[in-house]
A and B are shown apart, each in its own frame.
Chain A
C-alpha cells in the first residue's frame, strides 16, 4: 500500500549522530521510542545531549532515559525531572549525577516548553514568569532576567530557544502518504516543529490519507516534517500503544539497574541478545 520509504530501526539509529542534541518525551502517552533507544545503544552512540520534554518521569520514559545514560550514550541532559514515577528513582541517572559523569541542566517544565515554543517559531528566546529567586537562575547561565520593556520596574526571566538536532518519538499510526497520527498530545507536534531533524517510529501503517477524514487532521503531523519513519510494532514497550504499562517489566529493569553487573546483564539480555531486535 505504501509509497512511504521505511527505514530499519538500525538505519534510523545511524541518523542520530554522536554529540547530537535530542528531544524525548514525557511518556504519559505511548510516545517513548524504546526500540530506537535500544538501537542507539547497539550502535554505540556517544556524547548525546538529551532534552526531556519536559520530564522523563513516567515509568517507561524514565526507563528509556536511564538505559541510555547507563549505556554511556549520554553526556548531558536538560530536564525538569527524571524518575521511574511511582516505582522510585531512576538508578543509572542518579548514579551518574553523583559520580559527576553526567552533566545536568536542571530546568522547570514551562521553561522547557517556552524554549521549544521559541524554537518552533524561529525566535531567539521567550519570556517566562516565575524562576526569579530560584537556584535554577544561579546555575543556568543561559536563563536571564530582563526588564519588561512594556512595564518599567517589572523584572521577568527569559529562556533561550531550543532547536534540537533531532526529535525522536513513537506514534500509533502512519498512513499511506507518511502522515503520522499522534492524537491529542501536542508535545510531539511541538518537538517536530522545533527540531532540525525528525525521526518517528510507528506502531503500524494504515491505508489512505488521514487528511481525507477531517475528524483526524487535528491530531496529525504531516509527512513533510519527517526525515525518517520506521515501523516498530510494540516500539514503546513496556508501554503498549493504548498507554497501559507492564510495570513488572519496569520493576525488573529497576532491580537490575541497581548494580553495574545487573545493568550489564540487562543490556546483554534485553538489548544485544539475538531475538531482541525484532524491527531491524
Chain B
C-alpha cells in the first residue's frame, strides 16, 4: 500500500474543515496574527499563506519560526494599535449574541463558579484589529449564550470610543456565522456537512438572523488537504506539538532548535 495515497484518502477531519473555513475568511489579508491557545486558527492562517503563495505575513505567538518580533511581547500590540495587524482570532468560554466575549469565568465575579485563564489581549485587540474572527469548537447553549457573565471585550462600542476593529465572523463546530456591525447580530452563513439548521437552532443560546436557504460549508479540496497535512502540519507543530500529533500525526515534539549563541572571549 502506498503510504502517501493512504494519507490523502483519509477522511476530512473537522479541524481540517475549520482551518479551511478560516483560510477563506482571511482572503486579502496582509498580516494575520495568531494568539494563545489557537491551534486551528494557526493552521487556517498557515493554509491561507500557502494558498496566497507565501505573500501573507503570519505571526504566531509562541512560535520561534513563525515569528519576526524583536521588541518583546508589546510589539504585536504596538503594531496593532497603528493598524498593522489586519486579522486576529479570539474565542471565549462564553460568546453572546451581541458579540461580547467572556474569557474569565461563569457566575458572579470575582469568585466565579468556573474560572478560565483570563482576558489575554482581547480587551484591546478586539477594538483595533479590523477583522477579528471568533471561534468556538463547542457549539452549545452553555458556550453561545444570550448574555455573557463577564465582558472581557464588547462586540460593539458606542460613538466616541475609538473602534476601528471588531468581530466579522464566528466559526463553530456546527456552522459559520457572519457578524453584522450595523445591527450587532450574528447571521447564519453556512452549516457544516453532516449538521442541520434544527441542530444549530437547538444548540445556540442566542437569537440570530437566518435566510431562507442556508448552504452547506464547502470542505477543503484535495489540494488544500495536501497543504494542511504537509507544510501546515509541520509548521504548526513548532508551537502546538500536541495538536499537530493528534490531527496530522506529526512528531509530538517542538521543532525549535537552540539559538546559535557565539561565546565571546
CB distance from A75 to the nearest CB of B (A): 14
- Supposing A117-B74, A208-B264, A243-B64 touch, asked if A100 and B111 sit within 8 A by C-beta, the answer is yes
A42 at the interface (CB under 8 A from B): no
User: Is A104 interfacial (CB 8 A cutoff)?
Assistant: yes
Contact of A173 among B125, B243, B261 (CB under 8 A): B261
Which residues from A are CB-within-8-Å of B64?
243
A130 to B257, CA, bound (A): 36
Residues in A82-101 with C-beta less than 8 Å from chain B? 82-83, 85-87, 89-90, 93-94, 97-100
Shortest CB–CB separation between residue A96 and chain B, in angstroms?
Answer: 9
Query: Is B200 part of the binding interface, using a Cβ–Cβ cutoff of 8 Å?
Result: no
A23 within 8 A of B: no
Given the contacts A109-B121, A184-B70, A244-B254, A213 and B262 also touching, CB distance less than 8 Å: yes
Residues of A within 8 A of B241 (CB): 86, 247
Q: Which of B89-142 contact A (CB under 8 A)?
A: 103-105, 109-128
Bound-state CA distance A192–B123 (Å) is 26
Most chain A beta carbons < 10 A, residue from B70, B110, B123: B123
Contact of A98 among B39, B115, B126, B160 (CB under 8 A): B115
Judge if B36 is at the interface, Cβ distance under 8 Å.
yes
Q: Across the two chains, which residue of chain B brings its CB closest to A62?
A: B117
> Does A38 sit within 8 A of B, measured CB to CB?
no
Question: Most chain-A Cβ atoms within 10 A of its Cβ — which of B37, B39, B253, B259?
Answer: B259
Query: What is the interface of chain B mostly: helix, strand, loop, or mixed?
Result: loop
Do B127 and A129 touch across chains, with their CB atoms under 8 A apart?
yes
Q: What's the nearest-Cβ distance from chain B to residue A31, in Å?
A: 11
A82 to B117, CA, bound (A): 5
A113 contacts partner chain B, Cβ-Cβ < 8 Å: yes
Known pairs A85-B36, A184-B70. 18 more at Cβ < 8 A?
A54-B73, A55-B117, A80-B119, A86-B242, A89-B115, A94-B115, A103-B110, A113-B77, A129-B127, A135-B152, A183-B259, A185-B72, A206-B265, A207-B265, A208-B265, A212-B265, A213-B262, A216-B264
Interface residues of A (CB under 8 A from B): 26, 28, 53-55, 57-58, 79-83, 85-87, 89-90, 93-94, 97-100, 103-104, 106-111, 113, 117, 128-136, 139, 153-156, 172-173, 175-176, 181, 183-187, 189-190, 206-210, 212-213, 215-216, 241-245, 247
- What are 9 A-B residue pairs whose CB atoms fall within 8 Å in the complex? A57-B37, A81-B119, A94-B114, A106-B119, A113-B77, A172-B261, A175-B264, A187-B74, A206-B263
